[in-house]
Amino acid sequence: MRETVSGLPPAFWWLWTSTLVNRLGGFVATFMALYLTLDRGYSATYAGLVVALHGLGGVLSSLGAGVMTDRLGRRPTLLIAQSSTAVSVALLGFVRDPVAIVGVAFLVGTASNASRPAVQAMMADIVRPEDRIRAFSLNYWAINLGFAVSTMAAGFIAEHSYAAGFLLEAVMTMICAIVVFVKLPESKPVQVAGEEHEDSVGIGTVLRDGRFMGVVGLSFLVALIFQQGAVGLPVAMGAAGFTPADYGMAIAVNGVLIVVLQIPVTRFIEHRDPGRLLVVSSLLAGYGFGLTALAGSVGVFALTVCVWTLAEIVNAPTQTGLVVRLSPAHGRGRYQGMYTMSWAVAALVAPLMSGFVIDRYGAEWLWGTCAVVGTVAGLGYALLMRRLPDDDDTVVAKAPAPAPTPVPAPTPEPAPAPALIPAPAPAPVSESLAEAPPVVTNGAGVTTDAAVTVGKARARCGPEGERSQAGTR
C-alpha cells in the first residue's frame, strides 16, 4: 500500500478526495427509478423515459465538456460542472410537474457527466507518465469504494425521505466544488513555442485520428459487455426464477473484489504492455459473461462475476492511460470527452440490446453474444496496439544555444626550428571563458563545445536536472 500511494503529487490526492466525496454522495443515479415509481407513483414507462434522458444528457455533455476543458481549463470546467450538478440535484428533489422532472433530470445527467473529461485530463497533467496507470487505478478504486458505501447508505435514507437523499447529494457535490476551488490549481499545460495551438485540435481532428477512434470503438464494445452486469444479469436471473436478493448477493462480489484487489492488481500490471492487458481484459470480460449461460445457482453466478470483475479491474486504468497516451497535451479534454462518450452511449444501447436479445432469443444468446463481442474487441486491440507510441509526452522547450565567445587568434610566428626553439605558450582566451569548467578536448586537441555545455548543465542541475526540467512544463 505504501509503495502504491507514494510519489504522487498533493494535487492528485485533493482530486482523489473530491472524487471519493462525490461518489459517497451518489443517490440520484441509483434510486431514480424507485423514486419515480414508488414515491411519486409514476409508471415504469415514464421512469424509463426519465432515466434514458438522464443518460442522454451525459452523452451530449461529454464532447462539450471536453472542449471546455481545453479552452477554459480543467479547474473552471470542474467548478461549473460540480456547482451545476449540486443545484440541479437539489431542484430535482422538489419539482413535481412531470415535464419539469424530465427537464431537470436531463440537466442533472448533463452536469454530472461534464466533470469526467476535466478530472481525467487534470490527472494526466499533474501525474508523471510512469505513474499514470497507478493514479487512474487509485481513482477508479475511490469511485467504487464511494459507490459501494453510497448505495448502502442511500437505501436507508430512501426508507425515510427521498428528498433528504437529493439534498445530501447536492451538499456533498458542492463540497467537491469547494475542494477544487480552494486546493486545486489550474493544470492546463502551458503552450510551448513552436507547438501547434490548442485551437488546432478540434473535434474534427479527434474524429480523423484513426487509431484513437478505433480505441473509442473498441471501448464502446467492452462497455456494452460490462453494462450487462447492471441490465442483462438481473433480468436473466429474474427470468430464471431467482429473487432480487439473489442478484444482490451475486453482484455484491463485484464491488468487494474491486475494493480488495484493485491496488494489488495494479502493482502487478502498471509496467506491463497495455496492448496485451487490453486484449486479455476484453477476452476475460466476454467469456466471463459468456459463462453465465452455464450458471444454475447463485454461487455459479458469483463465480462468473469474479471473472469479469477481474477484467474490469485491469481494463479501467489501462484504457484511461491509453487515451492519455494517444492524445496531445493541448487536446486532452476533447480526447477524454470522446472516450467518455463511448461509455455513455453504451449505457444507452446496452438496455435495448439485452432486452431485445432476451425477449427474442433467450438469455443464453445474450451471453453468447458477449463472448463474441469480447473476442472481436480483443482482436481489435491486438491489431491497433502495434507500434504504440512511448508513454512520455513531456516536451521541454529548448532555448537556443548562446553564441560562442570569440577567442582572439594568436599572432602568427615563424615556424620554430626543431629542438632549438621552445614551443609557444597557449593562446590567451577571453575573460568570459576564464571561469568555465575544465575544458575537454578530443583526440586532436580541439575543444568540444558539447562537453562544455554538458559540464555547465550538470553543475546547474545536478543528477536530477533532467527530471526537474521535464517536470517544469
- pLDDT tens for 426-443 read 444 444 433 444 444 444
- Please choose, from the candidates 116, 108, 124, the residue with its C-alpha nearest in 3D space to the C-alpha of residue 143: 116
Q: How far is CA 259 from the centre of its chain?
A: 18
Predicted pLDDT at 388:
64
Where in the chain are all domains bearing CATH 1.20.1250.20? 8-187, 209-393
Q: 8-187 adopts what CATH topology? A: Growth Hormone; Chain: A; (1.20.1250)
- Please choose, from the candidates 4, 36, 448, 85, the residue with its C-alpha nearest in 3D space to the C-alpha of residue 263: 4
CATH number of 209-393: 1.20.1250.20
Instruction: Kindly indicate the confidence band of residue 448, based on its pLDDT and cuts at 50, 70 and 90.
Output: very low
Res. 111: pLDDT tops 60: yes
Question: What digits encode the pLDDT tens for the residues 193-219?
Answer: 455 555 566 778 888 888 899 999 999
Ranges of H-type helices in 114-209? 115-126, 132-160, 162-183, 203-208
Amino acid at 377: A
Res. 181: pLDDT tops 80: yes
- Please choose, from the candidates 22, 37, 34, 19, the residue with its C-alpha nearest in 3D space to the C-alpha of residue 123: 19
More confident position, 466 or 38:
38
Instruction: Kindly indicate the confidence band of residue 387, based on its pLDDT and cuts at 50, 70 and 90.
Output: low
Predicted pLDDT at 254:
86
pLDDT averaged over the chain?
A: 78
Instruction: Kindly indicate the confidence band of residue 54, based on its pLDDT and cuts at 50, 70 and 90.
Output: confident
List Cα–Cα distances, 37 to 27, 155, 164, 458, in angstroms. 16, 15, 17, 70
Asked if 30 and 150 count as a contact pair (C-beta separation under 8 A), the reply is yes
CA–CA separation, 54 and 35 (whole Å): 14
Instruction: Kindly indicate the confidence band of residue 152, based on its pLDDT and cuts at 50, 70 and 90.
Output: confident
Residue where the block lists cell 436478493: 245
- Please choose, from the candidates 155, 200, 164, 195, the residue with its C-alpha nearest in 3D space to the C-alpha of residue 90: 164
CA–CA separation, 111 and 460 (whole Å): 48
Query: What phi and psi values does residue 447 have, to the nearest 5 degrees?
Result: -70, 135
